[in-house]
Amino acid sequence: MTKKQFQISNLKKQISNFDFRISKRERILRTKIKISNNMKNIIYLASLFLGLTAFGQQMPAAEESQPIRIMNGTAHLGNGEVIENSVIEIDGGKITLIADATIIKLKAPTGEVIDASGKHIYPGFIAANTTLGLVEIDAVGASDDEDEIGTFNPHIRSIIAYNAESRVVETMRPNGVLLAQITPRGGRISGQSSVVQMDAWNWEDAAVRMDDGIHVNWPRSFSRSGTWPDLGPIAPSDDYDKEVEELQVFLNHGKAYKSNDNPEKKDLKMESLKTVLNGTSKMYVHVSGEKAILDVLAFAKANNLTKNLVLVGAQGGETIATTIAAAGVPVLAGRVHDLPSREDEDYDMPYKFPKLLADAGVMVALENSGSMERHQVRNLPFYAGTVSGFDIDVEKALMMITLNPAKILGIDKDYGSLEKGKSATLFISEGNALDMRTNKLSRAFIDGRDISLGTRQKDLYERYMDKYERQD
Amino acid sequence: MKKLLFSLLAATAITSQAQEYFPNNDDISAVSKASRAITNATIITAPGKMMKNASILMRDGKIVDIGTNIKIPKDAVIDDASGTFIYPSFVEAYGDFGMEKPKNTSRGGQQYDEGRKGFYWNDHIRSEQNAIDFYSYDSKTAEKMMAAGYGAVQTHLHDGIARGTGMLVALNNNGDDSGRILKNKSGAYFSFDRSDQTNQSYPTSLMGMLALLRQSHFDADWYSKGYSKTKDRSLEALNANKSLTQFFEAGDKKNVLRADKMGDRVGKQFVIIGGADAYEMMDDIKATNAQLILPLDFEDAYDVTNPYQEWYVNLSSMRDWKQAPANPMLLSKAGITYAITTHGLKSPSELAAKLKRAMEYGLTKEQALAALTTIPAKMLGAESMLGTLEKGKVANFIVTSGELFEKDTDIYENWVQGSKHMIKDRSVINADGTYVTQLDGDKYTFDISGDAKKVTVKQDSTKLGSKIDRNGDWLTITTSQKDPADKGYTRWTMMLTPENTAITGKVYMANGSERNFTATKTDAEVKKDEDKKDGDDKEEDDEITATPEMGSMTYPNVAFGSAQKPKAENVLYKNATVWTNEAAGIVENTDVLVKNGKILKVGKGLSAGGARVIDASGMHLTTGIIDEHSHIAIDGGVNEAGHNSTAEVTIEDVVDHEDINIYRDLAGGVTTSQLLHGSANPIGGRSAIIKLKWGYKPDEMIYSDSPKFIKFALGENVKQSRYQNGVRFPQTRMGVEQVFEDYFTRGQEYDKSRGTKDFRYDEEMETISEILKGERYVTCHSYVQSEINMMMEVAERYGFVLNTFTHILEGYKVADKMAEHGAGGSTFSDWWAYKYEVLDAIPYNGAIMHSQGVVTAFNSDDAEMSRRLNQEAAKAVKYGNLSEEEAWKFVTLNPAKLLHIDNRVGSIKEGKDADLVLWNANPLDITAKPQITMIEGAVFFDIEKDARMRAEVKKERQQLSNEMIMAKNKGLKTQSPKQDTKTLYDCDTIEW
């Protein structure tokens, strides 16, 4: 990046990070003041507006050039703790200090100081089990890369199809969702997911943890009978036992293959099972229904995979939450904003489901797979917010999108909470980031990089507000 | 032997029925004209009319005389039927007996226009079909029906929405069609089933079928006046068959009501097939004045021994199992005339068991008999021939071993047209029973059952291995020895006597000795004792003596229904933070007094004056949420996708008041929803605007004097972008404009043609005309700015205002134009990226439209989102910085304005409907939850009551599960658990 480009990007960032409550006119005024303070930048103002009208892609941020100190904000650590009057220092991409500003003695700042009084600071939210960047537009088949053909696809890797420049991905950041697990779909074994941060030039830059686990879609014990358009009721599936058996056979092959140090022929599918079988990557099992979940737990136990098992969805598991907890198996709890799975169920079951699991001692993170799932990932904070309305400490609800998913996805060494030594991946919000009204970000950092909170959507907003202002 | 007997009889029958004017080359023309008589039977000539020791004299298939003291000619063949009962044979009022369905000859694929010429424009209107053209006597089915007691059956081709005429056939396997066809062209038939003989798309929905039925009748009227320039055989037949009884196969209770309502519109009173769940809406069914043909397809108990599988069965299905068998009794009690049909049963042989269940619930034998004989005969206009045993009527009767509908009663014979069809040989002695004999000091007990196919033999108390064979009146029983080590066998051979008080025979002992013995018949009680001792769980199922309980019935009759319909009450909300949506804004510590369903007063320190006081301190009171765009609570399809304009259909026809999503929406604070047609075509169907009065009937939910609305749609859906090869016009946005141009031009011409002699009433054009006159508002599904501008221009060209754009995700680009035109926008808060035309959708859309003076709302189009629209409103604060008060109006006052119901709802103002929601927090707070949702002063959701109902649902499920397990253990039939689910609709859902 040339220096000039860098300056443009910084300027743009300053503009786009402005609070949208201030009027356009005021915004221009403030910009002018800044410019007059730094006359040599004036030339870039023109290019800035050109850039806006051309809907420029947001530029991934450069590495921080100086330490940053965030003062006096309420820090929600993501591990259940809160520091009301905090100081956070970022240096070299890491959090070098997090403390109560009213107690700690601070040295004179060496870099930028951000006053976060009255504001709230959160670790970057982590969206598990998403297909972000794998599909751009649901109904446009050509933009769809989420589901490979074949039944057992442990060798399929989502990361290489992840579009770091997706327009959908960029809309995550202004809501505080800064990390995501990118997961393939379909088949009995969909393939391997990877974890990315969402401000990158390409998938290689984006990857935080590659190939963190394989995803198994557990057979359905109940399924809809009949064929379209004459669909029947949901009835017990005749194929359930057979399908479970097929999965077992496949794993058996994997085990046999793994035990042979010098296989005659290299088998790509079996190779890709190795890390799961030796416990270094996770086995995510997408499953719902009490009985099926119990079957999965038994299956994992029989295959010595309990320690790296993660249940995904797990609706219906509320009645056996203590069993899940006792097995030490974490859950990526299915959509909070969903309908109850049957007529007789409590209307608020999906809202309170994660809390019911957490109460029993299950490690819970939230996920939102389902129809129109990608653009909705930006509502992840509000899923946690909804859960927080069900008699659970709001910081615990927050953990379901911060430290818990970090632990489950195996990235908690660097991400998921505001702790000294961890990556400086965090953001500053006007208020409670789990509430729609107050989830308003002024600054966000990924690995210490001061990222853009602009989006093409904001550009369009400004473009048309400009249009109407011209008419006034 | 049986077969031989049949064929002999058949031969006689054929000769006897041959017409005198027919040449006969088989034999000489000596035809036996002998009468037949059945004597000494107990004859039930009609329900409730019994004669003992009576006789029937018949000749030529008819009853010549009947009574206790009738004169029997000397040359009559007499059949002594002492000890038997005789009943009129049953009349099956419905079915497709002997119908051969024509194959669909057209190739697959989309077909929008008609596939036939010289008929109606819609291939599913097949009124020109006559059953007789598809008829071929089916002796196999006839045999099954006769065994169940039937002597005659009304049949027609089950194909099409209008299906043509039926015919009445005697089930006489000994006769031929020259005599069997009792009536031709009897009854005209209609249904909600599309024809299998065509691929024509229209109608794809239930509402489309109703519209099609209405329009075809209007057209038939017009045609009958001779204005048509072309020939239409379907309409001609529709007119020609007008004088016949009109039958409609409808289905469930709601469809019975729909069929009847449609009939009222076209001046027809249908006899309606359906209503197995009529008991859930009895008053309404009664009010139709329709006679019913009632299926008895009661569900078997679900096998819920596996609790994981039980989980899937809805409480409503469990109740259905428990309650539906009471339906016939309840219909009788309500004074509704109905015939019983086997239609819907797997086999006519199930009839007896189903009747038995209905009788356990109190249906009387007399009522059942009438529903199987006199009532169907009358419905079919065949009461002069069938239904009772009287002089001159067809000699159709059954001979039974005892009183009909008793467990042990067998049907011996079914006489049809005076010809005997043997079901069970009554001359055969019934060997079943328990017989005891003493031999060498040991007591032997023979328990013979199952028509002498099963036997249990005991030597004193030891059960012996045993086997039985019957040959005529001879029985052979082989038994093992008391000592299992002893390998020999004892053989008993014996003969039955007609008195059957004892059996006498000879026993060949294992050691070779022979002995004579007599075993006397004893009390049957022995058998039951033995069974229990054997540890067999299967108890006899005839032990039920008490009438089964119906169990809970709620409004509606599903989980979370109310025991009582919620009624308006007078309520004072005390000390709430009130979101008035009026100039006063959000006011704290304020009281709201509700009286007679209205908001009487808003103020501080109001006195209750007898009203129930609700302490709302710390809580927020708002007006109910209004969802401008919803697809919940709809039956039979949300899209009529068969034409590019379907202004003739209306969602009001298909409102489903039992959809659980109504309750879920109430729990989310929603009180009013516009149920919109989908977006499959540019001109869609008319809306239903409803209040979510859970527990009330569809017509009670629909707004009284509802503003009229219709759905329009633009863009990808209407141009079938996701079809491989769309063939329906339009396929581009360019074409979409021309569809509107075309219809509005035709609408203007239609209006001009009013009053002319050959004016043809057209429901679709009537609707277009309403739009042109500004009497009906449009909610238009739209996405991109080009089409939005086009639509406004078209509306302006034709002189009306496009009321609401829905979805309108690029509304922000043309908000100024919308404001100028006067269009409102009802949009999603933040949906996008799901298809190409929403590429430029932004979450700031609502805020921008609002800023330019467009009346803006957030809507759901989704059963999930609709129950938390308060959260969606909060997104207008996040994206675009609206004040909380203005954001809240996005889901309350603004949609009320868009729907032109803001004079009644949408704000807390004295005089408006008391549609109120009490929240535990600021309604825009992420943790806010409705505590009470009230509509017109009646509480439809109460979070405390909800908690109680959860417990009740659980308890009731448990109880019904226990009962079903009990039923299974009794040996009753069960079925695998299943879950009936309702399709969740959105704009794009097309199903047929």
Q: What secondary structure does DSSP assign to B595-638, as a single string?
A: ETTEEEEEESS---TTPEEEE-TT-EEEEPEEEEEE--SB-S-S
* pLDDT above 90: percentage of residues in chain B: 81
Same structural domain, B371 and B457:
no
Contact B308 A221 (CB under 8 A): yes
Q: Is B976 on the interface with A (CB under 8 A)?
A: yes
Residues in contact with B577: Cβ distance below 8 Å, sequence separation at least 6, in sequence order: B586, B587, B588, B589, B590, B619, B620, B621, B922
What are the structure tokens assigned to B116, written together? Answer: 């036939």
Query: Phi, psi at residue B652, to the nearest 5°?
Result: -55, -25
On average, the pLDDT of chain A sits at 90
B632 and B496 in a common domain: no
| Mean pLDDT value across chain B | 92
Q: Please tell me what DSSP assigns to residue A444.
A: E
Closest-CA distance, B737 to chain A, in angstroms, reads 24
Q: Does B759 contact A at CB distance below 8 Å?
A: no
Q: Which of A436, A465, A471 would you mutate first to test chain B, the one with the most B CBs within 10 A?
A: A436
The pLDDT confidence band at residue A22, using thresholds 50, 70 and 90, is very low
For residues B758-772, give the mean pLDDT: 98
Residues B820-831, mean pLDDT to the nearest whole number: 97
Closest residue, chain B, to A429 (C-alpha):
B878
Determine the straight-line distance between the first and last CA of chain B, rounded to whole angstroms. 51
Instruction: Examine residue B873 and state whether it is found in any structural domain, yes or no.
Output: yes
With an 8 Å Cβ cutoff, are B977 and A236 in contact? Answer: yes
Q: Is the pLDDT of residue B533 over 50?
A: no
Residues of B in contact with A432 (CB under 8 A): 926
Q: What is the pLDDT of residue B20?
A: 63
Domain of residue B806: give its range: 625-905
Q: Which two tokens stand for residue B934?
A: 């009230």
Q: Is B786 in the same domain as B890?
A: yes
B856 lies within 8 A of chain A by CB: no
**Residue-wise pLDDT tens digits, B267-276:** 999 999 999 9
Q: What is the pLDDT of residue A50?
A: 42
- State mean pLDDT over B889-898: 98
For residue B825, list its beta bridge partners. B805, B856
pLDDT in tens, B49-105: 999 999 999 999 999 999 999 999 998 999 999 999 999 999 999 999 999 988 877
Cβ count near B270 (within 10 Å):
24
Domain-located, residue B346: yes
**Domain assignment of residue B806, yes or no:** yes
Q: What whole-number distance in Å separates Cα of residue A372 and Cα of residue A452?
A: 25
pLDDT of residue A32: 42
Query: Which residues does chain B have within 8 Å of residue A225's beta carbon, measured at their own beta carbons?
Result: 978
Cβ-defined contact of A343 to B880 (cutoff 8 Å): no
B196 part of contact set with chain A, CB < 8 Å: no
User: What residues in B contact A440, CB-CB < 8 Å?
Assistant: 878
pLDDT band at B34 (very low <50, low <70, confident <90, very high): confident
Q: Which CATH architecture has domain A204-414?
A: Alpha-Beta Barrel (3.20)
Distance separating alpha carbons of residues A366 and A399, to the nearest angstrom: 10
Measure B639 CA to nearest chain A CA, in Å.
Answer: 14
> Are A461 and B867 in contact (CB < 8 Å)?
no
The pLDDT score that the predictor gives to residue B524 is 54
User: Looking at the structure, do residues B354 and B463 belong to the same domain, yes or no?
Assistant: no
Q: Is residue B793 part of a domain?
A: yes
Q: Give the number of C-alpha atoms closer than 13 A to the C-alpha of residue B479, restricted to the C-beta side.
A: 24
Beta bridge partner(s), residue B626:
B672
Mean pLDDT lowest for which of B45-54, B448-457, B767-776? B448-457
Give the residue among A367, A326, A436 at the shortest CA–CA distance from A215. Answer: A367
What CATH number did the domain enclosing B450 receive? 2.40.128
**B437 and B381 belong to one structural domain:** no
Chain B residues inside the 8 Å CB shell of A372: 831, 833-834
Residue pLDDT, tens place only, B790-809: 999 999 999 999 999 999 99
Summarize pLDDT for B655-684 with one digit per residue, the tens.
999 999 999 999 999 999 999 999 999 999
Rounded to the nearest angstrom, the minimum Cα separation between A449 and chain B is 25
- % chain B with pLDDT above 70: 94
Question: How many residues are present in chain B?
Answer: 992
Residue A195 pairs in a beta bridge with A181, A209
Contact B979 A235 (CB under 8 A): yes
- Please give, rounded to a whole number of angstroms, the shortest distance from the CA of A456 to a CA of chain B: 9
- Closest by CA position to B212, among listed B190, B185, B245: B190
Contacts of A147 (CB under 8 A, 6+ apart): A184, A185, A186, A187, A190
Cα atoms in the 13 Å half-sphere on the side-chain side of B18? 18
Q: How far is A382 from chain B (nearest CA, A)?
A: 7
Task: Please indicate, yes or no, if residue B7 is contained in any of the structural domains.
Answer: no
B925 reaches A (C-beta below 8 A): yes
Residue B474 and residue B340 share a domain = no
Q: What is the CATH number of the domain that holds B98?
A: 3.20.20.140
- Global pTM reads 0.91
CB contact under 8 A, A437 and B957: no
Identify all chain B residues contacting A375, using CB atoms and an 8 Å cutoff: 830-834
Among B557, B639, B878, the strongest candidate for a mutation testing the A interface, having the largest count of A CBs within 10 A, is B878
Q: Do B848 and A346 touch (CB under 8 A)?
A: no
* Candidate from A40-44, A113-117, B271-275 with smallest mean pLDDT: A40-44
pLDDT higher at A310 or B489: A310
Q: Pairing mode, if any, of strands B181-191 and B502-508?
A: unpaired
B159 and B220 fall within a common domain:
yes
Q: Is the pLDDT of residue B204 over 80?
A: yes
Look up tokens 């599903």; give the residue.
Answer: B558
Of B309, B314, B981, the CB nearest to A236: B309
What confidence score (pLDDT) does residue B32 get? 56
CB pair distance less than 8 Å for B926 and A375: no
Say whether A461 and B848 touch across the interface (CB within 8 A). Answer: yes
pLDDT of residue A9: 46
Q: How many domains does chain B have?
A: 3
Helix (H) or strand (E) holding B329: helix B327-333
Residue A225 to residue B721, Cβ atoms within 8 A: no
Q: Please tell me the predicted confidence (pLDDT) of residue A13.
A: 44
CB burial readout A319-347, b (16+ within 10 A) else e:
ebbebbbebebbbbbbbbbbbbbbbbbbb
Q: What is the DSSP letter of B880?
A: T
Is there a contact between A347 and B946 if contact means CB atoms under 8 Å apart?
yes
Residue of A nearest to B988 (CA): A139
The gap between the terminal CA atoms of chain A, to the nearest Å, is 40
For residue B408, is pLDDT > 90? Answer: no
Quote the CA–CA distance of A353 and A331 in Å, as a whole number. Answer: 11
**Is residue A397 scored above 70 in pLDDT?**
yes
Q: Residue B882 class from Cβ within 10 Å (0-12 exposed, 13-18 middle, 19+ buried)? A: buried
- Which band of pLDDT confidence, cut at 50, 70 and 90, is reported for residue B13? very low
The alpha carbon of residue A349 is apart from the nearest alpha carbon of chain B, in Å, by 11
Residue B978 forms part of a structural domain: no
Nearest Cα residue in chain B from A432: B926
Q: Cβ of B988 under 8 Å from any chain A Cβ?
A: no
**Better pLDDT: B185 or B722:** B185
Q: Under an 8 A CB cutoff, do A339 and B852 touch?
A: no
Cα–Cα distances in angstroms (integers) from residue B103 to residues B131, B198, B414, B598, in the given order: 16, 9, 35, 59
Contacts B927 to A, Cβ<8 Å: 385-386, 388-389
Of B504, B536, B568, which residue constitutes the final position of a domain?
B536
How close A210 gets to chain B, by Cα (Å)? Answer: 26
How big is chain A by its Cα radius of gyration, in Å? 24
Distances (CA, A) of B136 to A425, B98, B163, B419: 80, 5, 18, 20
Query: Is pLDDT at B541 greater than 80 in this prediction?
Result: no
Nearest residue to B650 via CA among B211, B64, B969, B311:
B211
Residue range A184-195, pLDDT digits in tens: 999 999 999 999
* Contact criterion met (CB < 8 Å) for B830 and A379: yes
Q: Which of B536, B556, B576 is the last residue before a domain boundary?
A: B536
User: Tokens in use for B463?
Assistant: 């059960």
CA B76 to chain centre: 50
- Greater pLDDT, A97 or B442: A97
Instruction: Check residue A51 and give its pLDDT.
Output: 41
**B940: closest CA among B706, B755, B745, B700?**
B700
Give the model confidence (pLDDT) of A300-313 as tens digits.
999 999 999 999 99
Task: For chains A and B, count residue pairs whose Cβ atoms are closer than 8 Å.
Answer: 160
Q: Report the candidate in A345, A250, A373, A326 with the shortest Cα–Cα distance to residue A288.
A: A345
| Confidence at B753, pLDDT banded by 50, 70, 90 | very high
| Alpha-carbon gap, residue B45 to B969, rounded angstroms | 40
Under an 8 A CB cutoff, do A386 and B926 touch? Answer: yes
What is the rounded CA–CA span in Å between residue B56 and residue B341? 27
* Same-domain status, B377 and B466: no
CB contact under 8 A, A464 and B312: no
Q: Domain check: are B221 and B326 in the same one? A: yes
B46 lies within 8 A of chain A by CB: no
User: Is A343 within 8 Å of B929 when comparing Cβ atoms?
Assistant: no
Residue contact B316–A290, C-beta within 8 A: no
Residue B877 touches partner A, C-beta closer than 8 Å: yes
**Any domain includes B323:** yes
Confidence of residue B858 (pLDDT cuts 50, 70, 90): very high
Task: State yes or no: cis peptide before B307, omega within 30 of 0.
Answer: no
- Residue at a domain's end among B471, B505, B536: B536
Establish if B266 belongs to a structural domain.
yes
Facing residue for A233 by CB, picked from B667, B832, B980: B980
Architecture of domain A68-124+432-450: Roll (2.30)
Residue B992 confidence (pLDDT) above 60: no
At B616, list the tokens. Answer: 């709302």
pLDDT in tens, B311-330: 999 999 999 999 999 999 99
Q: Is A279 left (phi over 0), alpha (psi -120 to 50) or beta?
A: left
Nearest CA-CA partner of A50 in A6, A4, A8: A8
- Contact by Cβ (8 Å): A17, A453: yes
Indicate if B717 and B776 belong to the same structural domain: yes
Q: Rounded mean pLDDT of B739-749? A: 98
Whether the predicted pLDDT of A36 surpasses 80? no
- Taking CA–CA distances from A393, the nearest residue in chain B reads B927
At residue B603 the predicted structure's pLDDT band, cuts being 50, 70 and 90, is very high
Count how many residues are written for chain A: 472
Closest CA to B626 of B581, B542, B692, B541: B692
